[in-house]
Amino acid sequence: MKKEVYNCLLCGTPLNVQVTWKWLLGNAFERTICLQCEGEFEPVDSSMDTKSDFEVCSFYQYNDKMKDYLHRYKFMHDVALAKVFRNQIRQHLSKRNEIIVPIPMHPAKLKERTFAHVDELLKAANIPYQHFLVKTTTETQGEKTREERINSPQLFELIENADVNNKEILLVDDITTTGTTIEHARKALIEAGAKSVKAFTLIKG
């Protein structure tokens, strides 16, 4: 069997994968980071966010380790890091019945980054997805203040000829802070006739 990853993708220490029955017979992806690094990511206490008026699920806290991860993945453009959370993402999303819709990037931004980071996370986890939305602005939420984010005009449009009527949708994004992005996407989909819109983000900022 050919190994894909020989060293921890985050710290470079060699990975000693133990051959177990679970590993041979199960369908979990091969480990990509060492236990030490894995231990430094902190899961969110409760996966349900009660502040929002609809369901948003998040996995991890935005601690220093996660900041470093996201920086290397999104800003240093290390696409290989899409694999780091593939087991967790698949575990969480493979049994969902809703249509998985990643939050899209603005086309100009995509050219600049060379890859769509949310799509790559899903691809790495082997989760099928569909695009219904287009981003209409190149502004990023991260550069704005809380007030500016909450009051920003609609960020998304529906893709031409997209049929979301009566569909159940699960939005996926890498990180949510104020929830503005998700809220805008949800509104656009509900207005277009979606039956329900829930959301999943890897990180709760």
**Residues within the interface to other proteins (CB under 8 A):** 6, 76-80, 110-116, 120
Q: Which residues does 174 contact at the CB level (< 8 Å), separation at least 6? A: 70, 74, 117, 118, 121, 201, 202, 203
**Least CB distance to other proteins at residue 115 (A):** 6
Q: Which is nearer to other proteins, 102 or 179 (CB)?
A: 102
In the block, which residue shows the tokens 């809703």? 98
Phi, psi of 160, deg, nearest 5: -55, 140
Q: Which is nearer to other proteins, 110 or 190 (CB)?
A: 110
Q: Which is nearer to other proteins, 107 or 142 (CB)?
A: 107
CA distance 201 to 98: 15
Tally the C-alpha atoms within 13 A of residue 121's C-alpha that lie toward its C-beta: 24
Query: 82's torsion region: left (phi>0), alpha (psi -120 to 50) or beta?
Result: alpha
**Least CB distance to other proteins at residue 116 (A):** 7
Q: Which is nearer to other proteins, 62 or 73 (CB)?
A: 73
Neighbours of 168 (CB within 10 A): 14
**Least CB distance to other proteins at residue 48 (A):** 32
Does residue 57 sit in helix, strand or coil?
strand
Q: Which is nearer to other proteins, 81 or 182 (CB)?
A: 81
**Least CB distance to other proteins at residue 6 (A):** 6
**Least CB distance to other proteins at residue 140 (A):** 17
